[in-house]
Structure 1
Amino acid sequence: MKLQQLLSFTRKAVDEYQMIETGDKIAVGISGGKDSLTLLYALSGLRRFYPKPFELTAVTVDLGYEKFHTEKIDALCRELGVPYHVIKTDIAHILFEERKESNPCSLCAKMRKGALNEAVKKLGYNKVAYAHHKDDIVETMILSLIFEGRFHSFSPKSYLDRMGLTVIRPMMFVNEADVIGFQRKYDLPVEKSRCPVDGLTKRQYAKELIHQLELDHPGAKQRMFTAILNGRIEGWPVRLTREEVKSSS
């Protein structure tokens, strides 16, 4: 996937779900993985021509794993003209040494998001961008169906009352396969996850299940994604039509 295509998908999400307003200060959560680095590229590119001017910064929550390096990410941020902040935490120590969690993913995500949101708020930014893509949205829906018994997935845009922050997901129309292609084409400085349970999660199970469904029934993933978009899920914002987007620009 080329940068132009990435920007097109990103603007589609931003426009249709009204993710960005004039004067917004947006922080991109950078884990070091391919998704968040691609999102950084997307928003830094969008910033150059989007009709509603906004500021951008990048924030990494360092979980405390050994051999996690941010030097190359910092260099990319400087190249893109985006300020970069690294927030040191002891989350890994708490999860695996103090609590000895056997299923740490849910608690880790909660602690990581909490640390990120708090840092973003202290920096004076009003929005935080997460790098969830189309596959993440479909996987979340599958997990919700199987383990919660409800049709649900995370929203393209949501307001966190307690923090006074708005969460946006500008890569919601981007396929993971395209993210992988973009990462390879632009040689993004991916920092491998140091988590000892990486790849052994329920989300990985959902990913493999969807992959098999796609093999058996080509187009199944896209149809599931369309069902989510049309599903009137509680908490989702109204999606603007093409005409409404033009009139709001």
Structure 2
Amino acid sequence: MNIPLPLAEPLPRAHARADKRGTHEANKLAKRLRHQVGRAIADFGMIEDGDKVMVCLSGGKDSYAMLDILLQLQQKAPVKFELVAVNLDQKQPDFPAHILPAYLESLGVAYKILEQDTYSVVKRVVPEGKTLCSLCSRLRRGALYAHAEAQGFTKIALGHHRDDLVATFFLNLFFHAKLGSMPPKLLSDDGKHVVIRPLAYAREDDIAAYAVAKQFPIIPCNLCGSQENLQRKQVKRMMDAWEKETPGRIETIARALGDVRPAQLSDPRLFDFLALGARGGEVPDAHAWLAGEPHTSDTDA
């Protein structure tokens, strides 16, 4: 007796269910990122009515996600603002210069590609084997700031996310002996530019998943050569290990950056320890304490 083969109908249904689940998860992720970016913009007053925002686009997942989400929010935002994508072509060898213009033109986004050979400068100035990133970043920042001033941008948007802020905190703590991070919003040293980080609440893992879902044309960031021993990479490995061992730890640290208690630290510039509990008498300085000379009052004579 011939046994009829099962129909192939269940397989398409299974695929349909999988596709539906995938679409549902992608929509949840997009909604979560929009909410986080919108909340960061509101919490820190990042964008105002009439702003002209320069969105710095590197070709990495973070800046792609930032631009994509800002474009979505722009459509329903309670204020009117302009977005212009700006990329700095630093003339790195094998840089695929056609990718960003093609992508931005497909979106119909206003954009500008700046060209400045900072790569040759860095390679000439930095000794062989030394880290290139610090000088490269300063040169890139200078070029972007100059363009922002010339074109009248009121805000400069950078793609740093929550994990970047936490990593910078540990870099400053471990390697520079200070407590500090990247603020979600800052005024440049010359007072001319307001820098904003709309992804300040967003997790890197979420951004990476979003980039895959959106199929952004990622440009690799190692065109100048891989430098595995960078301090930031050391901190990143530490953070990944922590998160694997204790999920949620990085989020807790990120929240702590927004809950600073100066009186529970030891910086006298932030808290007046000299006045704390003082009874009005003379307070000897450090020299007097270190000299070890006894105090003499007028009645001791």
- 1:135 shift after superposition: 0.6
* Alpha-carbon displacement from aligned partner over 1:12-44 (angstroms, at most 9, x marks no partner): 100011100000000011111111111110111
Tell whether 2:207 aligns with 1:215: no
Tell whether 2:209 aligns with 1:156: no
Q: 2:137 maps to what in 1?
A: 109
Secondary structure of the structure 1 residue equivalent to 2:75? coil
Letter matched to residue 206 of structure 1: V
Tell whether 2:209 aligns with 1:178: no
Tell whether 2:148 aligns with 1:120: yes
Secondary structure of the structure 1 residue equivalent to 2:91? coil
Secondary structure of the structure 2 residue equivalent to 1:61? strand
Worse overlay, 154-163 or 125-134: 154-163
Q: 1:242 maps to what in 2?
A: none
**CA 1:171/1:60 → structure 2, altered by over 3 Å: closer, same or farther?**
same
Q: Any unmatched runs of 5+ in structure 2?
A: 1-25, 268-301
- 1:186 shift after superposition: 0.5
- 1:168 shift after superposition: 0.2
Q: 1:74 maps to what in 2?
A: 101
- 1:130 shift after superposition: 0.4
Identity, % of aligned positions: 31
Q: 1:86 maps to what in 2?
A: 113
Kindly report which structure 2 residues correspond to 1:16-27, keeping only aligned pairs within 5 A, or say none: 16-27=43-54
Q: 2:219 maps to what in 1?
A: 191
Q: 2:195 maps to what in 1?
A: 167
Secondary structure of the structure 1 residue equivalent to 2:84? strand
Kindly report which structure 2 residues correspond to 1:135-146, keeping only aligned pairs within 5 A, or say none: 135-146=163-174
Letter matched to residue 241 of structure 2: Q
Q: 1:237 maps to what in 2?
A: none
Q: Is the 8 A contact 2:184 2:198 kept in 1?
A: yes
Q: Is the 8 A contact 1:121 1:163 kept in 2?
A: no
Q: 1:45 maps to what in 2?
A: 72
CA distance in 1: counterparts of 2:154 and 2:35, whole angstroms: 24
CA distance in 2: counterparts of 1:151 and 1:42, whole angstroms: 31
**CA 1:198/1:34 → structure 2, altered by over 3 Å: closer, same or farther?**
farther
Q: Is the 8 A contact 1:58 1:85 kept in 2?
A: yes
Tell whether 2:217 aligns with 1:203: no
Letter matched to residue 79 of structure 1: S
Q: Is the 8 A contact 2:54 2:85 kept in 1?
A: yes
Give the length in aligned residue pairs: 234
What CA RMSD, in Å, does the superposition of the two structures yield over aligned residues? Answer: 1.8
Instruction: Name the larger-Rg structure.
Output: 2
CA distance in 2: counterparts of 1:229 and 1:164, whole angstroms: 25
Q: Is the 8 A contact 1:32 1:191 kept in 2?
A: yes
- 1:85 shift after superposition: 1.0
Secondary structure of the structure 1 residue equivalent to 2:257? helix
CA distance in 1: counterparts of 2:145 and 2:114, whole angstroms: 11
Q: Is the 8 A contact 1:30 1:37 kept in 2?
A: yes
Q: 2:157 maps to what in 1?
A: 129
CA distance in 2: counterparts of 1:106 and 1:179, whole angstroms: 24
CA distance in 2: counterparts of 1:14 and 1:103, whole angstroms: 33
Q: Any unmatched runs of 5+ in structure 1?
A: 235-249
Letter matched to residue 82 of structure 2: E
**CA 1:200/1:33 → structure 2, altered by over 3 Å: closer, same or farther?**
farther
* Alpha-carbon displacement from aligned partner over 1:150-176 (angstroms, at most 9, x marks no partner): 221011111125261110000011100
Letter matched to residue 120 of structure 1: A
Letter matched to residue 150 of structure 1: K
Worse overlay, 110-119 or 214-223: 214-223
CA distance in 2: counterparts of 1:198 and 1:26, whole angstroms: 32
